[in-house]
Amino acid sequence: MIGDPPSVGALAAKPRWLALLHQGENWLLVTVLGAMLLLPVSEVLRRMGWPIGIRGADDFLRHLTLVAGMLGGVIAARENRLLALSSLPQFLTGWKKRAAAKISGIFSALVTICLAVAAAQFVISEQGAGTTLAYGVPTWWLQASLPVGFGLIVLRLLWHSAETWWGRAMGVVVAAAACWLVLHPPLAPAKLVIPAMVMLVIATVCGAPIFVTLGGAAAILFWGRGAPLASLEVDHYDQVTNPILAMVPLFTLAGYFLAESGASKRLVRVFMAWFGHIRGGPAIVTALVCAFFTTFTGGSGVTILALGGMLLPVLLTANFSERNALGLLTGAGSLGILFPPCLPLILYALIAQVPVREMFLGGILPGLVMVLLVIAWGVRMGKVDELDRRRFDFREGRAAIWDAKWELLLPVVAFGTFFSRFALPTEAAAVTALYALFTQTVVHRDLKPIRDVPRVMAECGLLVGGILLILGTAMGLTNFLITEHAPEKLVDWATATIHSRWIFLLGLNVILILVGGLIEIYAAIVVMVPLLVPVGLAFGLDPVHLGIIFLANMELGYLAPPIGLNLLLASYRFNKPIVEVMRAVIPMLLVQFVGVLLITYLPWLTTWLPSLFK
């Protein structure tokens, strides 16, 4: 998903019935997210002695995460905003663009049909098992969101595969014919695995969503082995209903409430008041504000798109060259990935099976190293002009802090709740999101409860849906690799080939930077971490240290030419040619690479804080 997206549902004029359908989907997603917000908070209050709460709240929350993920995926497909690996379609025009849309849309529909069928088989088996949640609610009622969601995604993939009814009808025919070939292959499926994989790669290059690439690879491999596809959806269900994963939509929701309100202006005012008077002050402001927002929104995309237009004039006014300003904003967009409670930290902890608390603590010092290096570069690039330098105004600094006190307290609320004995991790995430909602709607009144809050929640759900689709479908591929003993084989090869831990770390950095520049971070976490953790253990690496190395390299990969995500976003946001952005970001690339090396070869930066709290 590249670019500055429109509001959910705010596309071209639609027929009334279609507009009502879309509005209903949005409100259903908002309702589910609202329930996810209130359930954990009610559990905290119940634990404190309040006579509220419901039985089985944890089970309901896990399954609502599944429902929210599928609803968000359906809406993302409706808006044609599913996360994709390839940026090629953006550079195509005319018949080439239409051909790429047809190829990616039809093949994506075929893969999604397979996933829908597998999901239906899974739900039927669960229905027969007769399991229930609290109050006698059949579990399969909520599990049914899997086949229903995939079915709706199929329809929308085919809709976007062409611009005319004739083209869409042809897409349906081709997809149906491909399904028939899957069910009645002309050759043994094992002999068709490689051709099918080649087609999957072509579809991916043409713009197929990431979940199609990962789920399609798993489906093809299982199909070639003659294994039942229903196991793919067992993995999907187990992954998305993991209790920890509910933190993802909740923390993301907190970040979206900030990003869509006036919080960014208040925070910029604070940092400008306290740092704007020193050399390179605007660079310090840029690094700190971007790190703050990325920490809570979970990705650099929202940060660059939301803050870029505000911070670029600040840097230019401070006499930064346009190239340096562009490079700084592009590089600072990914700062914050290592700070808790950023989503990649949570996902790595989930996949690597390490405590989230340790990942949160382990990321603090490395995150500070990356921020300080960027600040140091910005200060060095700052112009020394005593006539233009601002004087520090204590009254303005105090007033700015008072105006932004509620936003500045957000990390205190998040960490205080998370590390307290009164709340579980998901409950801490819910308290943080509810705090952000309260401050932006009631205290500052930047967001109107009826007009703005549902829109923001729907936007958040759309992003979360895309992420959870990736996580769920990728687990099938991950489990296939584990079944084939890929981690063990990789360990054997690495230990036999590489005899130095330091050489291994250097090679790991190079590979991960390349991966970070080519593969979306959430997909990389799910697919690569199960392979890398055993290898890291073989070389004596702490799993938390390995995780911070992994995420720091992914952060650097956002800047890696030619298709690093931040490069594309900055090119779009500032209307600059991609080559110009690439040249501008080279200093930031080098600065952050130094940070990655420090994080890699000084493990105490990562392990010291977690060791204090064991």
Instruction: Dump pLDDT digits (tens) for 333-344.
Output: 888 889 988 888
The mean per-residue pLDDT over the stretch 10-15 comes to 61
430 token code pair: 């819910």
**∠ Cα 192 530 537 (to 5°):** 135
Q: Are residues 188 and 257 in the same domain?
A: no
The predicted structure's pLDDT at residue 217: 92
Cβ proximity of 116 and 473 under 8 Å: no
Q: Are residues 446 and 529 in the same domain?
A: yes
Instruction: Kindly state the percentage of the chain with pLDDT values over 70.
Output: 95
**Does the pLDDT value for residue 385 go beyond 60?**
no
**Does the pLDDT value for residue 4 go beyond 50?**
no
Q: How many CB atoms lie within 10 A of CB 474?
A: 27
Cα separation of 293 and 285, whole Å? 12
Can you name the residues that pair with 209 across neighbouring β-strands?
84
**∠ Cα 95 157 120 (to 5°):** 155
| Residues in Cβ contact with 541 at an 8 Å cutoff, skipping those fewer than 6 apart | 501, 549, 603
Q: Are residues 254 and 361 in the same domain?
A: yes
345 token code pair: 């930290």
Q: Are residues 301 and 154 in the same domain?
A: no
366 token code pair: 């490395």
Q: Are residues 456 and 434 in the same domain?
A: yes
**Does the pLDDT value for residue 598 go beyond 90?**
yes
pLDDT tens-digit series, residues 397-444:
999 999 999 999 998 998 888 887 777 889 999 999 999 999 999 999
The number of domains in the chain is 2
In-domain check, residue 454:
yes
Q: Are residues 211 and 256 in the same domain?
A: no
Smallest CA-to-CA distance from 263 within 403, 104, 417, 96 is with 403
**Does the pLDDT value for residue 5 go beyond 60?**
no
Cβ proximity of 614 and 544 under 8 Å: no
The predicted structure's pLDDT at residue 3: 36
**∠ Cα 52 29 123 (to 5°):** 90
Q: Looking at this protein, which amino acid is placed at residue 66?
A: L
Could you tell me the pLDDT band of residue 302, with boundaries at 50, 70 and 90? low
The predicted structure's pLDDT at residue 145: 95
Smallest CA-to-CA distance from 223 within 212, 215, 211, 234 is with 215
607 token code pair: 């392990």
In-domain check, residue 301:
yes
**Does the pLDDT value for residue 516 go beyond 80?**
no
151 token code pair: 């079915």
The predicted structure's pLDDT at residue 519: 75
The predicted structure's pLDDT at residue 491: 87
Which domain does 189 fall in, by range? 16-244
The predicted structure's pLDDT at residue 188: 85
The mean per-residue pLDDT over the stretch 495-501 comes to 85
Cα separation of 165 and 167, whole Å? 5
Q: How many CB atoms lie within 10 A of CB 128?
A: 9
Residue with structure tokens 């005012």? 269
Q: Are residues 262 and 236 in the same domain?
A: no
**Does the pLDDT value for residue 365 go beyond 80?**
yes
pLDDT tens-digit series, residues 233-273:
888 999 899 888 888 889 889 888 988 888 888 988 888 88
pLDDT tens-digit series, residues 206-237:
989 989 999 999 999 988 888 888 888 888 99
Q: What is the DSSP string of 115-133?
A: HHHHHHHHHHHHHHHT-B-
Q: Are residues 97 and 137 in the same domain?
A: yes
The predicted structure's pLDDT at residue 388: 52
**Does the pLDDT value for residue 298 go beyond 80?**
no
Cα separation of 474 and 211, whole Å? 7
The predicted structure's pLDDT at residue 186: 84
Please say which residue of 228, 244, 260 terminates a domain: 244
| Ranges assigned E (strand) in 299-434 | none
Q: Are residues 236 and 378 in the same domain?
A: no
What average pLDDT does the structure give for the chain? Answer: 86
In-domain check, residue 575:
yes
The b-or-e profile of 544-569 (16+ CB within 10 A means b, else e) is bbbbbbbbbbbbbbbbbeeebbbbbb
Please say which residue of 244, 275, 300 terminates a domain: 244
Query: Which has more confidence, 568 or 408?
Result: 408
Long-range CB contact pairs, 133-138, < 8 A, 24+ = 133/56, 133/59, 133/60, 133/63, 134/54, 134/55, 134/56, 134/59, 134/60, 135/54, 135/55, 135/56
The mean per-residue pLDDT over the stretch 507-514 comes to 86
Q: Are residues 214 and 255 in the same domain?
A: no
Q: Are residues 405 and 507 in the same domain?
A: yes
3-state secondary structure at position 209: strand
Smallest CA-to-CA distance from 8 within 89, 81, 90 is with 81
In-domain check, residue 3:
no
Phi, psi of 138 (to 5 degrees): -60, 135
3-state secondary structure at position 14: coil
In-domain check, residue 4:
no
Please say which residue of 244, 278, 301 terminates a domain: 244
The predicted structure's pLDDT at residue 575: 76
pLDDT tens-digit series, residues 145-182:
999 999 999 999 999 998 888 988 998 998 889 888 88
3-state secondary structure at position 477: helix
| Residues in Cβ contact with 192 at an 8 Å cutoff, skipping those fewer than 6 apart | 185, 224
Cα separation of 241 and 380, whole Å? 48
Query: Per the omega criterion (within 30 degrees of 0), is the bond before 15 cis?
Result: no
Q: How many CB atoms lie within 10 A of CB 594?
A: 14
Instruction: Kindly state the percentage of the chain with pLDDT values over 90.
Output: 37
**Does the pLDDT value for residue 493 go beyond 80?**
yes
Q: Looking at this protein, which amino acid is placed at residue 608?
A: W
Cβ proximity of 367 and 291 under 8 Å: yes
The mean per-residue pLDDT over the stretch 192-199 comes to 92
Q: Are residues 156 and 278 in the same domain?
A: no
In-domain check, residue 2:
no
Query: Which has more confidence, 133 or 301?
Result: 133
The predicted structure's pLDDT at residue 51: 78
pLDDT tens-digit series, residues 16-70:
888 888 999 999 999 999 999 999 988 888 887 777 778 888 999 999 999 999 9
Could you tell me the pLDDT band of residue 387, with boundaries at 50, 70 and 90? very low
Residue with structure tokens 């713009």? 207
Query: Which has more confidence, 302 or 506?
Result: 506
pLDDT tens-digit series, residues 136-147:
899 999 999 999
The predicted structure's pLDDT at residue 10: 55
The mean per-residue pLDDT over the stretch 188-198 comes to 90
The mean per-residue pLDDT over the stretch 85-96 comes to 80
Q: What is the DSSP string of 142-161?
A: HHTHHHHHHHHHHHHHHHHT
In-domain check, residue 9:
no
The mean per-residue pLDDT over the stretch 454-483 comes to 88
Smallest CA-to-CA distance from 133 within 32, 213, 54 is with 54
The predicted structure's pLDDT at residue 384: 54
Query: Per the omega criterion (within 30 degrees of 0), is the bond before 487 cis?
Result: no
Cα separation of 429 and 498, whole Å? 41
Query: Which has more confidence, 566 or 449?
Result: 449
Q: Is the dihedral of CA 560, 562, 342, 322 positive or negative?
A: positive
Residue with structure tokens 């491999």? 221
The helix (run of H) or strand (run of E) holding residue 196 is helix 189-205
Lowest mean pLDDT among 212-216, 375-379, 409-413, 483-487: 483-487
